[in-house]
Amino acid sequence: MNSCSSLGIGLAGFGTVGSGVWNTLHRNGDLITGRTGGDVRLHVAKILVRDPAKARATTGDVPAELFTTDWNTLVADPAVDIVVELIGGTTDAFDIVAAALRAKKPVVTGNKALLAERGVELFALSREFDTPIHFEAAVAGGIPIIRTVQDSFIGNRILSFSGIINGTSNYILGRMTDAALTFEAALAEAQALGYAEADPALDVNGWDAAHKAILLATLAYGFPIDPKSIHVSGIEQVRPTDIHFAKSLGYVVKLLAVIREHPDGAVELRLQPSFIPKSHILASVHGVFNAVAVHGDAAGESLFYGRGAGQDPTASSAVADLVEAARSLRQTTGHRGFLPYRENGRILPVAETSTAYYVRFDVTDRPGVIAEVAKILADHRIGISGTHSPVNPDNPDAEFLDMVFLLHTCPFGKLQTALDAIEQLDCINSKPVVFRIETLA
């Protein structure tokens, strides 16, 4: 460790979040030192970038000698005590984090994909070299949900999480609800405002939120989770028709993460567009905000709400982890990053999960369609609570239309079997679209 009074930070990545970390330390460095009783002094010692000449929005001038284009130089620099990985991806980022751990330099990362997909390897290195990985910035931006689960809920058996943990999808669904925009129009607006990337795939297909959900579940239940074992569905197929139906039934549509431990110890983990009651507090989460409801057996239900992305909120979480990492270096308090405490656990197959459902079919408009679909559902012992076939006022004589079925609670596997049979009907023109109807009790 650097013998100077100030600990050196190696910033791997100097984009939106990396420059936000620089700005926060430049602006609030003295405040951080004062709040830690003079125990933590931080300075940026090295910065990894692809293009040192690129203009960046930073507070104060960044000395040119801090920049490097070689990550090995950053990790090996004796002036660097803590490595902050903010480059994204799962290849170079993995190499940087692994090298830092082997050098016994604590790591701070906001890379949820890296930890969800390669966390098993990295946490093993963390244990082997007794060097922590801190990752508050990887989930829900500025909301301190990771530290809350690690520390404040340490005495609780966590019964469930339910949450909105992707701000881009929440903004899109909100605009579809409030302004009656199509998905395509709402996405274009989000991109114009900088809320969505030019390639928004990970946000709208659900996998950005799914990676975060995997990290929460791993923290709560202590075993590594294979991303292939969970069910993920995005918002690409949400239409104004679905938004309208949700409103008329007293629901709103949200991209919802559900994590729940069952009595036999199996963990339910799924991510999908869902109808949630307007009366539930998560229905009031608007714009790019995130919220996570945590239900502990001792604490009961708690809600954590805040900005889920952006330079300052995410940098705030990264700096909090920096302070934690610095304290662990200054004071020998043992390993403070996450270490799995179970070798394995069981993810409940999605086929065994149960809710009520909203199902939309694209059908050819002819007599008997409802009866044909209803018969197959009845054959599979799935109850129907309502049906509707809206007429397009702009084309009342259309040959094709959307037909909606509201279905009673049943296992998802049973529903899928029935839908496979329904898809074979000659009146069904495309794959049915399914939304969960959540009670969130």
Distances (CA, A) of 429 to 73, 199, 273, 363, 401: 58, 29, 22, 6, 10
339 has pLDDT over 70: no
Which tokens hold the place of 403?
């037909």
Q: Minimum mean pLDDT among 63-67, 98-102, 107-111, 389-393: which range?
A: 389-393
Per DSSP, the three-state class of 287 is coil
| Spatial separation of the C-alpha atoms in residues 187 and 330, rounded to whole Å | 46
Asked whether the beta carbons of 429 and 360 are under 8 A apart, the reply is no
pLDDT in tens, 76-119: 999 999 999 999 888 999 999 999 999 999 999 989 889 989 98
Query: In 3D, which of 61, 57, 86 has the Cα closest to residue 74?
Result: 86
321 has pLDDT over 90: no
What's the helix, strand, coil split of the chain in %, to 5? 40, 25, 35
| Spatial separation of the C-alpha atoms in residues 60 and 397, rounded to whole Å | 65
Mean pLDDT calculated for residue range 115-130: 90
| Spatial separation of the C-alpha atoms in residues 219 and 134, rounded to whole Å | 12
Mean pLDDT calculated for residue range 211-216: 92
57 has pLDDT over 70: no
pLDDT in tens, 358-376: 999 998 888 888 999 999 9
Please state, rounded to an integer, the average pLDDT across all residues of the chain. 88
Which tokens hold the place of 264?
């036999």
Asked whether the beta carbons of 107 and 134 are under 8 A apart, the reply is yes
The topology (CATH level 3) of 7-141+311-330 is Rossmann fold (3.40.50)
Higher pLDDT, 230 or 57: 230
Q: What is the pTM of this model?
A: 0.86
Mean pLDDT calculated for residue range 386-400: 63
Provide Rg for the chain, Cα atoms: 24
Per DSSP, the three-state class of 432 is coil
pLDDT for res 346: 93
pLDDT in tens, 172-202: 999 999 999 999 999 999 989 888 877 889 8
| Rounded (10°) angle between helices 240-248 and 167-178 | 70
Name the band, by pLDDT with cuts 50, 70 and 90, for residue 3.
very low
What CATH class is the domain 145-306? alpha beta
For the chain, where do the domains classified as CATH 3.30.360.10 start and end? 145-306
2 has pLDDT over 50: no
For the chain, where do the domains classified as CATH 3.40.50.720 start and end? 7-141+311-330
| Spatial separation of the C-alpha atoms in residues 155 and 163, rounded to whole Å | 21
Residues involved in catalysis: 212
Beta bridge partners of 386: 406
Name the band, by pLDDT with cuts 50, 70 and 90, for residue 396.
low
In percent, how much of the chain has pLDDT > 70?
93
Domain 350-437 indexed as CATH 3.40.190.150: no
For the chain, where do the domains classified as CATH 3.30.70.260 start and end? 350-437
Name the band, by pLDDT with cuts 50, 70 and 90, for residue 397.
low
